[in-house]
């Protein structure tokens, strides 16, 4: 997802993984968040934890300079948001949109209807 119009170079990338059980998603979500934290630490200072207002079952968010990583679990889905040159408020908005889409699909509703 890229911002359009008079925006800068900001972009957001989503990755979704689905699991049969929420417990499997939870384990993977925690592992992925820890991997991202360690990955960021290898290139200098570790990413700092940030609070993201999300309606997910579990959320871990971090910021490393102009980059954000937000790893969430919504039921049996792990969602990873990676953003560059974005402001925290815009990251929170993108997170909320993604969570709403995952919940819609899991409830049998097409989010693009």
Q: Give me the phi and psi of 83, to 5 degrees please.
A: -130, 150
Q: Determine the average pLDDT of the residues in 6-33.
A: 90
Q: State the DSSP code for 100.
A: H
At 38-86, the pLDDT tens digits run 887 787 777 899 999 888 999 999 998 889 999 999 999 999 999 998 8
In this prediction, residues 30-34 reach a mean pLDDT of 95
């Amino acid at each position: 997802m890229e911002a359009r119009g008079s925006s800068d170079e900001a972009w957001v990338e989503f990755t979704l993984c689905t699991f049969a059980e929420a417990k499997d998603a939870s384990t993977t979500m925690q592992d992925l968040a820890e991997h991202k934290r360690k990955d960021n630490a290898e290139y200098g200072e570790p990413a700092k934890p940030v609070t993201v207002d999300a309606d997910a079952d579990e959320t871990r968010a971090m910021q490393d300079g102009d980059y954000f990583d937000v790893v969430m679990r919504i039921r049996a889905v792990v969602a990873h948001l990676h953003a560059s040159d974005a402001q925290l408020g815009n990251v929170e908005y993108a997170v909320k949109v993604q969570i709403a889409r995952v919940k819609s699909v899991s409830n049998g509703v097409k989010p693009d209807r």
